[in-house]
Each structure stands twice: as C-alpha cells, then as structure tokens.
Chains A and B, each alone.
Chain A
C-alpha cells in the first residue's frame, strides 16, 4: 500500500517526465502577442470611454487596423499550424505527433474570428447538431503519413453556433473530430464520436510504418 506523500510524488514525477514543453522562445512569442492584443483592447476601450466625436468610426478603423495580423498570416506551434487565407478562410494543420494544445488553438482561432471550443480527450456537441458543417469546413484527403488539414470558412457558420474540435488519441493514431454546436446548449463527453452523423473527422493517414 502506498504512502500519501510518496504516492503523490510518484504521480507528479511520472507526469513531469512525460511533459513535453514548447521552446521558451515560443512561450515568449505567444506572450508578446497576447500583450500586444491586450494593449490594443485597452487603447480601444479608452477611446470609447473618452467619448471622442466619431468614436464609432474610429473604433471601426481601430479594429480594422488590428486585423491585418489576423487577416493573413501563419501561426505555428508545435501542435498545429493555422494559416489565415486571403479569402477569409483559415487552414488548420494538426501535428498529431505532439501533445495537443487546446487552449492555444482555441485562442488563435478566436483571433481569426472563428469561435470554437477546442478540447483534448473529450468532445462537445449539441443535440440536435446544427446543420451546415459541410459548408463550414472541408477536409481534403491526405496521403499516408501526411499531416491532416481542414479548411474553415467562418462566414458560413450559422448565427449562434461555434465549432467544436475534439482531439483523441485512438488505437489507430490521433484523430480530431469537428462539429457545429449551439453556443448556448451543448454537452461534452470523453467518448470519441467515431462514425457519428453530422461530425467530421480528420487525422493522420495510416502510415505503413505504424
């Protein structure tokens, strides 16, 4: 029978040993980006509070001004790459070989105007599932061993909905499930929705070496 302190220590040591940290430079980069974002928000808030004549117009310009960082460009982390296309769509590539980063992906999608609930090991869905997922995302076929991608068109998302991404490590490799959910009504489960209607899935092509 174990002893409490040593058992907690063993659990913590095991988890610490499995932890795969991002490079410090990446943490700093993300922190800098967040700092810039919050400064922009603060300055916009100040403008609004000051009641400047034409503040509405200025606010609109301000938001547009902050948009180029999100309008096109690429965000790369160890877990995923998110490319904002000129057409307004975004292309997400998941690197399933590393631990998924749900909070980071959710935050980066939000920056691109894509409201999403991103989870690892669980999946959130509404009942009934809002229709239209095929207009919102497209999942191209991938070759064995290729990283899976999905292209998202936020303009096609019905009002009151957001996307749900759930990443699972299944017996045949990592798989990410995607569905539209009703923002005001959904539940989450730890069961992968394999084969469920209205839910798209993408993952690594089965590699002959696996």
Chain B
C-alpha cells in the first residue's frame, strides 16, 4: 500500500473503527488511542497488512489486541470498559439508553466483541469466528450469553443467530 492509498484508507475508516472499538471497550479515549496505534503499526508493517487482504479487519483486530493488552496489564483482570469513570451526569441519553450502556459495560469483553462484530459490523458467525480466533460454536454461545445479559434492556431479544 502506497502513502496516498494508506492516507485514504485511514481517512475513510478511522472514525468507523473508533466507533466499533468504543462499542467493544466502552471507553472513548482508549478506543481512539488503540485505533491510532493500530494504524501506526499498520503503516510500519504494511506488507503484512497487505497480505491479510482485509486491511480494515487487520487494523480492528490489532486495535482490539492493543486495548485488551493494556486492560490486562493495567487491571490484572478487571473488566474492560470499567477503566474509565463515567461522567456523573450526561446530558441527552434517555434512561433506557443509560441503562443499556451500563448493562453493556458489564458484559464480558469477548461476548461484547462478538456482539459488536455480529450486530454492528454485520459479520456472519463464521466471520466473527475467523476474526476472533474462536470456534463458531463458541461465538454462538458468546452471542447468546451477551444477548441474554442485555435482554432486559432491549426491545428485540429473541432474534435467532444465523450462520
């Protein structure tokens, strides 16, 4: 990938990836920082990224690993997404949305990652499995558990997981 192509790729995908990482981590600053760092690595190792054939997925996986690694080092087991104290009050979101955000923060990190990839990134179970390195059955279980945890806060809770 040449400089200009990389710059276009960065401009096109940076904000989308920050949004996805935020949904996975629950932390805006961490999401932005991890994605930024992943792009630095992407340029430094662009040969490897090019060979992956899916540069955006490569950056997302790298950003997730960066965020997860920091979380493990910093908290030694504390759930991702609780690193940053939430503002005491937020203007705008309805109580339903605040409750949903709180519930999402309590979902274990790998379940939340699966939920985001499946529901937000519109991936199939097999694609989620490929990106996360888990088996399809594990992905299905994570999706089911994550959705069950969020069920009290959602309108639709029983939509089946499709392949």
Q: Is the CB of B36 within 8 A of A3?
A: no
Closest Cβ of chain B to A172, distance in Å, is 15
Interface stretch among A24-32, A55-63, A139-147? A24-32
Selected contact of B116 from candidates A8, A27, A102, CB within 8 Å: A8
Closest Cβ of chain B to A125, distance in Å, is 12
Q: Is the CB of B43 within 8 A of A32?
A: yes
Residue of A nearest to B4 (CB): A24
CB neighbours (8 Å) of A104 from chain B are 33, 36-37, 40
Q: Is the CB of B44 within 8 A of A35?
A: yes
A103 within 8 A of B: yes
Closest Cβ of chain B to A175, distance in Å, is 14
Q: Is the CB of B83 within 8 A of A5?
A: no
Selected contact of B115 from candidates A3, A4, A22, CB within 8 Å: A4
Selected contact of A4 from candidates B43, B97, B150, CB within 8 Å: B150
A159 within 8 A of B: no
Q: Is the CB of B120 within 8 A of A100?
A: no
CB neighbours (8 Å) of B120 from chain A are 5, 8-9, 12
Q: Is the CB of B75 within 8 A of A188?
A: yes
CB neighbours (8 Å) of A14 from chain B are 19
Selected contact of A11 from candidates B3, B23, B41, B157, CB within 8 Å: B23
Measured in the bound complex, the distance between the Cα atoms of B43 and A35 in whole Å is: 9
Residue of A nearest to B25 (CB): A15
B18 within 8 A of A: yes
A64 within 8 A of B: no
Q: Is the CB of A31 within 8 A of B40?
A: yes
B136 within 8 A of A: no
Q: What is the interface of chain A mostly: helix, strand, loop, or mixed?
A: helix
Interface residue range, chain A: 35 or more
Closest Cβ of chain B to A38, distance in Å, is 7
Q: Is the CB of B32 within 8 A of A99?
A: yes
Closest Cβ of chain A to B124, distance in Å, is 15
A51 within 8 A of B: no
CB neighbours (8 Å) of B157 from chain A are 4
A119 within 8 A of B: yes
Measured in the bound complex, the distance between the Cα atoms of B30 and A25 in whole Å is: 21
Measured in the bound complex, the distance between the Cα atoms of B40 and A34 in whole Å is: 8
Q: Is the CB of B155 within 8 A of A13?
A: no
Closest Cβ of chain B to A108, distance in Å, is 11
CB neighbours (8 Å) of A188 from chain B are 74-75, 83
Q: Is the CB of B147 within 8 A of A4?
A: yes
Measured in the bound complex, the distance between the Cα atoms of B156 and A100 in whole Å is: 38
Q: Is the CB of A103 within 8 A of B97?
A: no
Closest Cβ of chain A to B10, distance in Å, is 5
Selected contact of B44 from candidates A18, A22, A38, A99, CB within 8 Å: A38
Residue of A nearest to B30 (CB): A120
Going nearest first, the 10 A-B pairs with the smallest beta carbon separation are A31-B43, A12-B19, A15-B22, A16-B19, A24-B7, A121-B84, A16-B15, A19-B18, A190-B85, A34-B44
- The 12 sampled A-B contact pairs (Cβ below 8 Å) are A1-B153, A2-B97, A4-B147, A11-B22, A12-B23, A15-B21, A17-B15, A19-B18, A25-B7, A31-B40, A100-B33, A104-B40
Q: A31-B41, A32-B44 are in contact. List 14 more A-B contacts (CB 8 A).
A: A4-B115, A4-B147, A4-B157, A10-B97, A11-B104, A12-B120, A16-B16, A21-B14, A30-B40, A103-B37, A104-B33, A120-B84, A122-B83, A190-B85
